[in-house]
Amino acid sequence: MTFFESKEQLMQVFEEFWPRAIAIPHVYERLCESEIIARFVVEQPELEVTIDFKSKGPDGKQGILSFDSNIEPEITVYSKSDVTNKFWQGKLRTSVAMAKGDVKISGSVMKGLGLIGKIKPLHPVYIQVLKDLGLERLLV
């Protein structure tokens, strides 16, 4: 199984992944243009990851990653951590996962699907983070 062992492990992956992700100019620009607030509600282990491209952080930049935030998202994506892991590696056919109930989206489904195209170039970054953190067992 490709589940994360703990909430802390999942947080560590996102804390390492996110700065690398927004350091890619063409991806960062497209996400900033979207001005979207998306929340990923993950189960097994439980964690809420919110990405805010409407607000600016203390550094004046958009693209704030937070955990268990109370900010209201425009879209919320629900899945188990194994499905989340497959998604960020680019190994998940989202439409099939939605049809099977493995992924649920509330809010603007169109914005959610649009977000998928914008983050596609981040799959290799996520995979490299898993490798760098010694989490090869999570590779799909």
Q: What is the pLDDT of residue 1?
A: 56
CATH superfamily label, 7-133: SCP2 sterol-binding domain (3.30.1050.10)
Q: What is the pLDDT of residue 44?
A: 95
State the Cα–Cα distance between residues 90 and 85, nearest whole angstrom: 9
Nearest-10 crossing angle of helices 123-132, 81-89: 120
Model confidence at 75, pLDDT cuts 50, 70, 90, reads very high
* Residues above pLDDT 90, as percent of the chain: 81
Question: 60 or 15, which is more confident?
Answer: 15
3-state secondary structure of 87: helix
Domain positions in the chain are 7-133
pLDDT reading at 90 higher than 90: yes
Which token pair is 100? 């099977």
Quick: pLDDT tens for 2-37: 789 999 999 999 999 999 999 999 999 999 999 999
DSSP H helical ranges for 1-140 = 7-22, 25-34, 81-89, 94-100, 109-119, 123-132
How many Cβ atoms are within 10 Å of 68's Cβ, its own excluded?
A: 12
